[in-house]
Chains A and B, each alone.
Chain A
Amino acid sequence: MRKRNQYTTPLVLYRVRKSLKFALLIALLAIYLIPIYGMFSLAFKPRAEIYSGLFELTRVTLENFEEAYRYGAYSAITNSIIVTVGGVAIALVLAVLASYAFSRFAVKGKNILMFYILSTRMMPPITLIIPIFIMFFNVGLKGTYLGLILVYAMMSLPLSIWMIKSFIDDIPKDIDQAALVDGHSTMFILFKIIIPMVIPGIAASAAFAAIMLWNEFLFALLLSGVDTKPTSVLLSSIRGERGFNWGRVAAIEVVYILPIIILVFWLQKYMLRGLTFGTVRR
């Protein structure tokens, strides 16, 4: 009897400690997500109750969304979609080709190239923005979708190449070699055999690139025009106004971040690769 007591006491203690830890964690998470919750609750609040406290929500209304629509949120979101999809689409096609070559072939100078591509991730965008600004100003790309799409393709290429390469690296080379012995062409091997095997990985890479571009601000601020400004620029321009309507801001923010939140849940499996450029795998 005594023996069992000696054994169970620490176990009880352990359980208590574990549930305390869990409670603390939940509490921290709750505090952590208050701003997100606040955004949503503010977006659905009537205008009169904006400063009435974060948690009070007496009446749910869509008037903020209506106002956001009138303010131009609709076209900003459309612009965001256009430049994001355009940038990701170009980057993805090019990245798939390049990452396959990097993963499979003994290309001369491969390490230097891969290092350069990674270093672009680290480069302060401010270094690039001045010449690109002058360049776009001179060739008339400033304020166009195409200009922003091209810059966005450049921005998401490094992430896409490194990440897709990390997925292709996981496929045994014997698969390619078997296809080579069978007599398939490089393009057949890539598109009919390798790509179908890494579709989830490519989709995840595309999603990470899309999130990056969707959230991008600095290039959009300087390169977009009145008609082509994406949501981030619209939001920043509200900042300069005096006495603006927070409910409307929250409504735009909700529309802006909701797709990302949904993506995050799908991406949890690939989060580590996405955050570390595919350099850390699991």
Chain B
Amino acid sequence: MGKDEYIIQVEKIAKTYNGRRVLNDISFALRRGELLAILGPPGSGKTTLLKIIAGLIKQDAGDVIINGRIVNDLPPYERGVSLVFETLALYPNMSVYENIASPLIAEKKDKEYIDRRVGEISRLLKIEHILGRKADKLSGGERQRVAIARALAKEAEIYLLDEPLSNLDAKIRYALRTEFKKLKSLLGKTIILATSDPSDALALGDKVMLLFNGAVIQEGPPIDIYYAPRNISIARYLTGNILNEVSISIDSYGKSVSMDVGQEFSIDPYFLKVLREVGETSITLASYADGCIVDKSVESCSGIKVAGEFIGYEYRGSEYLVYARKGERVFRSLRASLPNVTFGERVEVCIPHTNALLFSGKTGSLIR
């Protein structure tokens, strides 16, 4: 595959701040029109990476290649990138119009062009009605849109968005997420988006890159990340630490099997065979809430079945998140309706083998 096919390549970027390594040999490549979501907890180096790409921070080592050209020594405005800051960084003393027009003014475009372009973009982001207002007199959602509009106004090869959906309440957040998808397909732009919210990354990214402590720990299409997280801590992070987990111990002969959820469990014979073939004595079985069944009784379960106790639920829009407990373990299940049980009543928890993720108990890395 030729290098020129990529619109942007980042090769072995490293950065150290005050003796602390904030970025460690980061590499990735992106084709035109793709959206890369950089996912990682706060402080994992996302902002630094975006600013290095934009040319605002100088890397210690490594190259940024945009359109086949090494841009390491180019100032931000010669790199063909546009950036939405995590802090938004609107110019508070200017009007919304002036904010959006800012990159166009810098490029010395003529008045007519600026008017047209600001009009287009503000229509797209539904902020036409606030164009005359001053930027420091806007609500959180409006500010976010203006920041995005300013970045989009610039004709860039790559748009960098740093936490564009953070600090927003759920409603605006959801609305903007749908808008992003629309924007993406509408504009066909190359986008790099940094976020600490797994659902944003998985929903929006063509590719997801997981950044932990300044290092890439997994990269791939969202489906792969979601269904094959490289290790258990990724899986936990993706669910916001509410992963369903069971520890399974198998003796070295593969004969006796025990779990940390007591004696009352059953394993589908085919699945037991699978577990034995793994060849590890300690396995952590995990599943997401959407791959776990909690009900009064589950007739046939193709994976493991555990008896537990119904402890509560949350209403999640169109679904219920149902909680069941067995010993120390809490299981969560997404259901269309509530099970016909009362609090504290016995329920059965089933994790079908197709939804089960198996991690090594020792190293935590994915087995299957």
**Chain B minimum-CB-distance residue to A180:** B76
> Given the complex, which residues of A lie within 8 Å of B54, measured CB to CB?
177, 181
A140 at the interface (CB under 8 A from B): no
Point out residues on B near A: beta carbons under 8 Å: 51, 54-56, 75-77, 81-83, 85-94, 102-103, 105-107, 150, 154
CB distance from A21 to the nearest CB of B (A): 40
A241 at the interface (CB under 8 A from B): no
> Given the complex, which residues of B lie within 8 Å of A172, measured CB to CB?
87, 89
A20 at the interface (CB under 8 A from B): no
- Assess whether A174 is in contact with B87, with CB atoms less than 8 Å apart: yes
- Assess whether A182 is in contact with B93, with CB atoms less than 8 Å apart: no
> Given the complex, which residues of A lie within 8 Å of B77, measured CB to CB?
180-183
CB distance from A82 to the nearest CB of B (A): 33
- Assess whether A180 is in contact with B154, with CB atoms less than 8 Å apart: no
Which of B51, B55, B88, B150 is in CB contact (< 8 Å) with A182?
B150
The number of A-B residue pairs with CB atoms under 8 Å apart is 61
**Chain A minimum-CB-distance residue to B78:** A183
Give 5 CB contacts A-B under 8 Å.
A177-B83, A178-B90, A178-B91, A180-B77, A181-B54
A114 at the interface (CB under 8 A from B): no
**Chain A minimum-CB-distance residue to B85:** A174
- Assess whether B89 is in contact with A178, with CB atoms less than 8 Å apart: yes
Q: A178-B91, A180-B75, A182-B106 are in contact. List 5 more A-B contacts (CB 8 A).
A: A172-B87, A174-B89, A182-B103, A183-B106, A193-B94
CB distance from A104 to the nearest CB of B (A): 12
Complex Cα gap A177–B54 (Å): 10
Complex Cα gap A184–B88 (Å): 17
**Chain B minimum-CB-distance residue to A195:** B93
Q: Mark A148-179, 1 if CB is under 8 A from B, else 0.
A: 00000000000000000000000010110111
- Assess whether B102 is in contact with A179, with CB atoms less than 8 Å apart: yes
A37 at the interface (CB under 8 A from B): no
Given A172-B89, A197-B92: A177 in contact with B56 (beta carbons within 8 A): yes
> Given the complex, which residues of A lie within 8 Å of B76, measured CB to CB?
177, 180-181, 183
Given A177-B85, A178-B83: A183 in contact with B92 (beta carbons within 8 A): no
